[in-house]
Amino acid sequence: EWANMGLLTLTPGNVIDYEFIRAEVNVLAAENDLVKLLVDPYNATKLALELKEQDGLPVEFLRQGFLTISAPTKSLLRLILSGRLRHGGNPILRWCIGNAVAEQDAAGGLKLSKKKSRSKIDGAAALVNAVAAATTGEEQGDSVYETRGLLTL
């Protein structure tokens, strides 16, 4: 149904077709001003390296552990709770977020849990990655240590 609505693209055949996915990513990158493509290296390292090294896309790896995912997960939670997340009524994202359950580590870190979630959460996980891409590596400007030097008291 979602494919018929134009909300997702199915790969041909009965298995994941990574060449098809690679071609689709390149089309989307050309149609949009792709700044950064964050990829979980688990089961996608070969594809990610091809996109980066052969296709020249700005690919970076983002592991899905507490250390790397907690801050963007918390940022996404704040966006949702404050009513500032706008997704255009996308039914896939709404379904994935409705399925998502977060887990917390001893240090208070948060991440989405596939094991604890009710069903697929891939869209929600992709949204966490998008928040990570939007909030990391931002230009911070010159460091105070570069502009004025070290201040000794």
State the pLDDT at residue 119: 95
Query: Residue 132: its pLDDT value, please?
Result: 92
Please enumerate in sequence order all residues whose Cβ is within 8 A of that of 103, keeping only pairs 6 or more positions apart, or say none: 110, 111, 112, 113, 116
pLDDT at 88: 86
Q: Alpha-carbon distance 133 to 9, whole Å?
A: 23
CA atoms within 13 A on the CB side of 88: 3
Segments in the chain below pLDDT 70: 137-153
pLDDT tens track for 111-141: 999 999 999 999 999 999 999 998 876 544 4
| Helix %, strand %, coil % of the chain (to 5) | 45, 10, 50
Distance between CA 41 and CA 61 in Å, rounded?
Answer: 6
